[in-house]
Structures are given as C-alpha cells and as structure tokens.
Structure 1
Amino acid sequence: MSDKIIGTDREAARQRLRQAFTDPREFTSSPLYRALSRTVAGEDRLLELAGRGRPGQYPTFLFFAAVHHLLLTGTRHPLAAFYPSLVGEGRQAAPGQEAGAALIAFCAEHEQALTEVISTRLVQTNQVQRAVGLRFGLSSIAAEVAAPVHLIEVGASAGLNLRFDRYGYTVGDRTFGDPASPVQLVTEHHGTGPLPDLDVLPDLASVRGVDLNPIDVRDPDARGWLEALVWPENHDQRALLAAALELTATDPPPIQAGDAIDVLPRLAGALPAGEPRVVFHSATRMHVPAHRLDAFDAAIASLGETGPLWWISVEDAPDPDPRPAPTRHGAALRLRAPDGERRTLAVVEGHLRWLETFTDA
C-alpha cells in the first residue's frame, strides 16, 4: 500500500473521530463532556490519542472515561476542579466551558498513561437502570412462555442487569420488585398505553452473560473502571452503581468471556433442546464493528435453532416510530418472538430514566 493511500486512510479516520467529538449527542446529561468534546474536535493531537482504542470502541466514551479514570485514581491536576465527581456532591465544580486548556495540558502530561488505558480497556457501561427494560420485556412475554426460560445477556459487563429480580422498581406511580432492596430504580412513565405488570415474570431456568471482557464485581480495579464510565455530573447513577455492585458481589452471575459471534452458537448447542430462552442486549450493538453486525445478529438468532427464542433489545431509535405524536427522542425497546414477529414494546430513554407506552393502532 502506498504512503499516499495510508495517509488518506489516516486522514479519513481522523475526520470520523473529529465528527464524533464535534456532535456528541450522547452526552445529554454531561455539560462538561459536551464542552470538552469541542476542545478535542479542534485538537489533532487529542484526536490521535482518542483513536488509540480497539476497533469498535466508542471513542468519545472511551477517551473521557480514560481521563476520568486517571483523575479518580489519584492523578493530581487542575483539571479535577471541573469534575463534579471529584469536587464532591454539594460543591460547585468550575465551569466546564473553561476546562479546555486544562484538558490539553493534562493529556500532554499523561499521554503514556492515557494510551495504556485507551488501548487496553473497553467501554463496558453497566447502566443498572436498564434492568427496567429487561424486566419490562420479560413481563411482556410471561403469558407466552409455558416453561422456565434460560436468560442470556450479551454485553453483560459486570452482570448487574442479570440480577434484575433482586431490585425494587417504581415506574410512574406503580411499584414492583423488592421494596427492601438497596437498589431502587425509578423510571418516569409517559404515554397512553398500558404498563404490563412487572411482577408477573417467567420463571428462570438459568441466567448467564456473555462479554468480551467480563467485569469481576469483586475486583476493586474493575469496579473503578465502571465508575469512571459514569459521567461526572451523574451522582445518583454513581450511587446506584455502587449499591448494585455491592449486592451483586455477594452472588455474581456466571459470565462467559468471548466474542458473542463465537460464543452464542456454541451456547445454543449446550442449552437443553426445546427449552425456551431469552436473549437481552442494550447499547451493545453500537460497539460492534460495522462489518461484523450481520454476524452478530446471526449469532443471536442461532440461539433459536435449538429452542424457542425471545429476543429483547434496546439499541436504536424506533423506525417507524409507533407513537402518534412523538415528543421525546428515545430508543426502541424491541421484542422479536420465536415466530419472527417483531414489535416495539415501548420507546425509552437510553438509560431507562423514562419509558413511553402507546396504544397499538
């Protein structure tokens, strides 16, 4: 390959990175990361650093988590003054719009340490709140399932969602689950459609996760990385994560390490033939390289070759949107039944802080 082609490829990659930081729509609840994204987009050296992650990793999430991780683990620098997670709840962090110069200096001083984190870690956010989506999906199929189900989460990270049955839930004005659990999930309910009874669930025959690099909930370093992935302003989410980690550490679910594309077909053959199974994934497909998406979907579908498969996911925006007059941008909580029928159960905020139900036309 000629130097000219190599140079063109590098420039194209840099431009893709620049676009990711120029329009960081994902940081809806982080003014600091939105401000710092503009700084990264304007600095080729920072873009080059952000691009040192493994293929398929979301560069904005990975880069800012790496910076956050170094600060949380004791790296002293003026940049910390701009992070609400570091100045402490109840204290005012410095304005994020003024943090750009500090970020540039921090990255120059700690480039080697940042490269080590960016090149070896994975974006493995374990948003406990997404357990609401899993429970909603399971309650929606409870009447259709005649036997206990084998539950598999793809992209399970630390497996916190797999302990969904040990949490308490408030959805709108209704409560479900364990009211005494230290993990209490609160979700707004919008829309005119009915909410299923989240206490009516299929029995579980087995529970397991699949992840490229499972997080050991008993490992302080691994737990620290999960904390770094929480955006600096999200104090409630950080407290919720800590509570879920403590609860799950007493009885971690089994999580198989490996690429789902390789693992799931083998797992399909290991499950008891004819017994129902449910697969769940949320904000996982977005991290799969584009050229492997078809193989990822086929691997999940392979679970249905040896028994009836219900496929629950929270990934993309609904298309078409089933709501008559959408006013909130959200993702589709989708279900594919064993007969291949696909339906959108609800439209949800990406972290399941709200969900919107609707009446079928």
Structure 2
Amino acid sequence: MTDKIANDPRASIRNAFADAREFTTSPLYRSLARVVAEDDALLDLAARGRAGQYPTFLFFGAVHHVLLSGVDHPLAAFFPSRVADPAPAEGQAAGAALRSFCAAYEWELTSLISSRLVQTNQVQRSLALRYGLATLLPETDGTPVHLIEVGASAGLNLGYDRYGYTVGAQRFGNPDSPVQLAAELLGDGPLPDLDTLPKVASVLGVDLNPIDIRDVEDRRWLEALIWPENHDQRRLFSAASELIAADAPPIRAGDAAVVLPELAASLPAGEPRVVYHSGTRMHVPAHHLDAFDAGIESLGADGPLWWLSLEDAPDPALPRSSDRFGAALNLRGPDGERRTLAVVDGHLRWVEPMPW
C-alpha cells in the first residue's frame, strides 16, 4: 500500500479529498469529497488549479459556480443553495450525479479551476481588522494610517467601517447598516473599544486577481465559495456586496512581493502604515513565502509598520479560558515584536481577547 501511494502522481490531491476535514459545516462536501478521492478522472480535473490553491476549495467552488448559473442537472437536487429540500448526499446517487455533472461540464469546470483563485471574502473577518485597528490606536499617537489589505479579493473586509457589530453584549459600528455581524465573547480578557479607531489616510487592496463585485460572474464566484449549507453567510455576503458595490475601495492587481515594495516607495515618509491579511498566506506556494513576507516587510522601510494577520493556529501556551479550536489574530509592531491580540473562530463567530 505504501509503495502504491508513493508511486501515485495524484497522491497529494487524493489525500486532500480523502481527509477533507476543513468542511466543518458542509456534510455535502465531506460526502462528495470521498467520491472525488476514489475517482481518478475527478482528481485529474481537481489538479488543474494553480500552485498553492487548496484543491478541495477550488474544485467545489467551480462545481458550485456552474450550478449557481442555473444549469439543469440532477446534481442540483443535493445542493441546499439550489433547492429547498435537498436530497441526502450519502449513497451512490450523489456520487453518480457528481461524475455525470463533471463529464457534462468539463470545459466550464476546467476554465474555472485553471483561472480562478480561492478568494473567499468572509465578511465577518472585517471584525478582526476593526479589532486590530482599535488595539493599535494608542501606538499611532493619533496620526492617520495608510491601510493595505493583501488578498483583498473584492474588498469586502475594507468596508469594516460600514458595518454594525455585536460582540457579546456590546454593540459597535453602524447600527443601521444592512450588514450586522455578531460574535460570541469568550474569556475575561479586555475587549478594546471598537468604536475608537485611528483615522485613515488612504485605503488600498492588493490581490493577484481582483474581484469586481459589480460584475455578475465575479460575484457569483465569491458566492460559489460559500458552502451550500451556509445560508446565513450567503445573506451576509449579498448584503455586503450591495453595500460595497456602491463605493468599492481601490484594489491593485499583482503579486504582493512585487506590488508592496512599489507601494512602499510611494507612501509619504514617516507616516504609519497598517497591512492586514486573513486566510491569504495559506494559499501562497511554499517556495514563494519568503518573497511574500519580504514584500510586506518592505512597507516598513520608510515608516512605522503594523502587521496584522489572521492565518496561524494559536500558541498552545496562551492563557486561554477556552479549548475551542481557533485562529490567532496576531499583530507585529514597528519594534518587530509580535503578540496575539485574540483567539477567534476562523469565521469570527466567537472572539476570545488575550489579556495583554
């Protein structure tokens, strides 16, 4: 068995689908992933994505995108995003429908998988950005900051100042916004005042393949990356898309390793800058990680840089009151010291402030 796996050119892709534990709230995708893992033709289709892209996210995003276009195929009967009473995905029928669908729409799926990127704009992650900005306010002495998001996709997170927030029993932001985000508050660490934020001198997103939220196909791609069962997430995405489309932030296309040094040279010397990325670095190919990090560090060459990220698992040594699995909201200041501001659910359903 070991020799068979070692000689299998599809092994890494197969393993990703065989153990698709990332689909925590999608029984449909977990079931269909096992079908893909056992089918060489489906694995070859899934392998047509760019280096660094998660094959499970990309493959099912492409399948979902085609289904959301309204095509008439038996596979739609298993998707809660297409039908009100979906058929159970366990059993041979769902697998047969997936194989038939991929054969029928191979050209469309190949086009999406080979050209698109996993660019999930979790609107809730704007809470992480707002949290970080509120935390660093005392360190900037009230000087307006230049805000850059790497992996901005359609820029929905950059609309952090247009949304309303409820964290525990406390409310922040715009109470009249059509986008209202809620997070459970864990532990007894201090929650910063999320209504006391630094002024912003400029805002810019950077993305390998920017999404135009006003474009029907681009918006459908982002919707397709939302798992079929996640109706609440889809409603949030729809509301945020309408809000941001009316006044979208500027987003520059390009590789952060190239774009950020150029941007750094254009910023006024000495003025503070904040860079934010969430679920972005995880998609950078391993051989390019050093260049990605160097691009971000270049922003601090001629002015103080605060580096805010939501990417890594938390340090087990953190003084936590909860054992929930989450991600670390990390902030590295101009002095190079990195600290964890909070441990959060990956989709910001809960927040546990750290007592720093």
Aligned partner letter, 1:303: L
SS at match of 1:118: helix
Aligned to 1:142: 137
RMSD (CA atoms)? 1.5
SS at match of 1:85: coil
**Structure 1 residues 227 and 177, CA gap change in structure 2 (3 angstroms):** same
TM-score (normalised: structure 1): 0.94
Matching of residue 112 in structure 1 with residue 107 in structure 2: yes
**Structure 1 residues 10 and 217, CA gap change in structure 2 (3 angstroms):** farther
Aligned to 1:121: 116
Aligned to 1:39: 35
Question: CA shift at 1:358, angstroms?
Answer: 3.4
Matching of residue 153 in structure 1 with residue 146 in structure 2: no
Pick the aligned partner of 1:94 from 75, 79, 87.
87
Question: CA shift at 1:305, angstroms?
Answer: 0.5
Aligned to 1:62: 58
Aligned to 1:4: none
Aligned partner letter, 1:109: A
Pick the aligned partner of 1:203 from 199, 202, 220.
199
Distance 2:55 2:309 in 1: 23
Aligned to 2:343: 347
Aligned partner letter, 1:169: Y
Aligned to 2:208: 212
**Structure 1 residues 40 and 321, CA gap change in structure 2 (3 angstroms):** farther
Distance 1:15 1:263 in 2: 35
User: What whole-Å deviation, never above 9, does each CA across 1:86-134 have from its counterpart, x for those lacking one?
Assistant: 00xxx32111213222111211222122111111111111110000100
Pick the aligned partner of 2:218 from 211, 218, 222.
222
* Counterpart mapping for 1:252-291 below 5 A: 252-291=248-287
Question: CA shift at 1:320, angstroms?
Answer: 3.8
**Structure 1 residues 76 and 136, CA gap change in structure 2 (3 angstroms):** same
SS at match of 1:175: strand
Distance 2:5 2:274 in 1: 41
Aligned partner letter, 1:161: N
Q: Is the 8 A contact 2:187 2:322 kept in 1?
A: no
SS at match of 2:81: helix
64-73 vs 321-330, greater mean Cα deviation: 321-330
Matching of residue 247 in structure 1 with residue 247 in structure 2: no
Distance 2:29 2:305 in 1: 39
Aligned partner letter, 2:273: R
Aligned partner letter, 2:109: L
Distance 2:255 2:349 in 1: 29
**Structure 1 residues 233 and 321, CA gap change in structure 2 (3 angstroms):** farther
Distance 2:18 2:317 in 1: 27
* Counterpart mapping for 1:163-178 below 5 A: 163-178=159-174
User: How many residues are matched?
Assistant: 350
Gaps of 5+ in 1: 1-7
Question: CA shift at 1:158, angstroms?
Answer: 0.3
Aligned to 1:133: 128
Distance 2:272 2:130 in 1: 17
Aligned to 1:323: 319
TM-score (normalised: structure 2): 0.95
Percent identity between the two aligned chains: 67
Distance 2:264 2:5 in 1: 39
Distance 2:8 2:155 in 1: 36
Pick the aligned partner of 1:19 from 15, 18, 21.
15
Distance 2:234 2:157 in 1: 15
Aligned to 1:5: none
Aligned to 1:3: none
Distance 2:167 2:9 in 1: 42
Question: CA shift at 1:167, angstroms?
Answer: 0.5
Pick the aligned partner of 1:189 from 185, 188, 198.
185
Q: Is the 8 A contact 2:61 2:225 kept in 1?
A: yes
Distance 1:29 1:9 in 2: 29
User: What whole-Å deviation, never above 9, does each CA across 1:124-146 have from its counterpart, x for those lacking one?
Assistant: 11110000100000011111112
**Structure 1 residues 105 and 248, CA gap change in structure 2 (3 angstroms):** same
User: What whole-Å deviation, never above 9, does each CA across 1:61-99 have from its counterpart, x for those lacking one?
Assistant: 100010001111022111101100000xxx321112132
**Structure 1 residues 12 and 315, CA gap change in structure 2 (3 angstroms):** farther
Q: Is the 8 A contact 2:340 2:354 kept in 1?
A: no
Aligned partner letter, 2:150: V
Distance 1:25 1:277 in 2: 37
